[in-house]
Amino acid sequence: MTRIVMGIDPGFSITGFSIVASEQGGRIVLRDCGGFTMSRSLTLAQRITLFHHFFDAKIVEHSVNVVALETPFLGKNAQNFLKLGYLRGMLYFLHDRHQTLLLEFSPREVKQTLTGFGAADKDQVARFVLRLFPSLRVPNSYDVTDAIAVSLCGLWHKAYVTAK
Amino acid sequence: MTRIVMGIDPGFSITGFSIVASEQGGRIVLRDCGGFTMSRSLTLAQRITLFHHFFDAKIVEHSVNVVALETPFLGKNAQNFLKLGYLRGMLYFLHDRHQTLLLEFSPREVKQTLTGFGAADKDQVARFVLRLFPSLRVPNSYDVTDAIAVSLCGLWHKAYVTAK
């Protein structure tokens, strides 16, 4: 079964996302990627709903069967951590509805997998990603390259995708 | 328009909930209340889905038009705070889908509204609730009385429910 992985780096200002698949012969194809933004003029609840609908549609459109996330850590702002939970909760919900596999990786695992160095910085991760996909336009922020990185971890992870 | 308020105190071990309405003549009716629990044998995602379905059905069954929540504060465990976000995200999502009003109250506001004393303890809140609804069987935990308390705040809050 072809593994089609959606990597997501969720956030209320921008959510980086990436959909990768390994085709026959082992070639890795970047099917979609981008930064999803939501207007600040919407209420929190409207943005949560929009987020849900956007990624629900992406899963269906690309027949995603693995959702890959990075484990979050509490930053300076506890309320932002709680709000991140609102978006992550939606991804759990979508994973369950569409019966995908859900894989979570620590930031260190992601860096280690991509660069061979667990303490690599975001720029090193981005450079690896851009080397793998030379046709990718260099994004303005690391959100997209971070999402591509976590989607690649999902692709290369040893766990078998159980057919549903 | 009759205000029908669902108060919820969400948690992965137990979610206290309460549905109250003010009927003609100002009488307050407790339409439903309880502690919703989810088996630990389910995955986190399955529990989030179950939580969504349970409260989706409650909103429809009782024609709830106000959802009332208590503002959470970061406790000792940051990961539990994040997980609380998963459940709260679902409530935002349901509020938006069903176009209810969403009201949030600080713990202090809830205690102040019910007992007249912002630093009241949970037992004082519970005693007020039991005095208001004498037929209520004394619950084993404060989850249910806390949820009733927040639903009453939603009922007494001055904001008008805008007709949708």
- The residue with greater pLDDT, B56 or B73, is B56
Residue B142 CA to residue B127 CA, distance in Å, equals 10
Residue of chain A whose alpha carbon sits nearest to that of B46: A96
Q: Which of B48, B85, B102 sits opposite A84 (nearest CB)?
A: B85
**Are the C-beta atoms of residues A23 and A83 closer than 8 Å to each other?**
no
- Residue B52's closest chain A neighbor by CA? A93
Which residue in A has a C-alpha nearest to residue B100's C-alpha? A45
Q: Would you kindly state where each structural domain of chain B is located, as residue ranges? A: 4-156
d(CA A11, CA A2): 28
Whether residue B164 is predicted with pLDDT greater than 60 in this model: the reply is: no
B:104-143 residues touching chain A, CB 8 A cutoff: none
Q: Do B88 and A78 touch (CB under 8 A)?
A: no
Which of A82, A83, A88, A95 is the best mutation test for B, with the most CBs of B within 10 A?
Answer: A82
Confidence grade of residue A77 (pLDDT, cut at 50, 70, 90): confident
Work out the minimum CA distance from B153 to partner chain A, whole angstroms.
21
| pTM beyond 0.90 | yes
Cβ of B107: how many Cβ atoms within 10 Å?
A: 19
CATH class of A4-156: alpha beta
Distance from C-alpha of A86 to C-alpha of B87, rounded to nearest angstrom: 7
Whether pLDDT at A81 is above 70: yes
Q: Does B62 touch chain A (CB under 8 A)?
A: no
d(CA A105, CA A107): 6
For residue B160, is pLDDT > 60? no
The distance of B92 to chain A (nearest Cα, Å) reads 5
Size of interface A-B (CB pairs under 8 A): 85
Strand A28-36 and strand A101-105: the pairing is unpaired
Instruction: Give the pLDDT of residue B137.
Output: 81
User: Quick one: which H or E segment has residue B86?
Assistant: helix B78-97
User: Looking at beta carbons, which residues of chain A come within 8 Å of B88?
Assistant: 82, 85-86, 89
Q: Is pLDDT at B26 greater than 60 in this prediction?
A: yes
Per-residue pLDDT, B159: 56
Which range is least confidently modeled, A127-141, B66-80, B148-162?
B148-162
For residue A74, CA distances in Å to A79, B56, B77, B80 come to 10, 30, 10, 11
What pLDDT score was predicted for residue A159?
A: 56
For residues A56, A16, B85 and A13, what is the CA-based torsion angle, rounded to 10 degrees? -110
Mean pLDDT of the A42-68 span: 98
- In angstroms, the CA B94 to CA B141 distance is 26
Q: What is the arithmetic mean of pLDDT over B38-48?
A: 96
Mean pLDDT of B144-159: 91
Mean pLDDT to the nearest integer, A37-60: 97
Question: Could you tell me if B42 lies within 8 Å of chain A, comparing CB atoms?
Answer: no
Q: Identify which of A46, A74, A95 has the shortest CB distance to residue B96.
A: A46
Q: Note the pLDDT of residue B161.
A: 42
Contact B92 A52 (CB under 8 A): no
Residue A161 has pLDDT above 60, yes or no: no
Instruction: With CA atoms as reference, report the closest residue to B152 among B100, B98, B112, B93.
Output: B112
Q: Extract the tokens encoding B14.
A: 């137990």
What's the rounded Cα separation, in Å, for the pair A83 and A44? Answer: 9
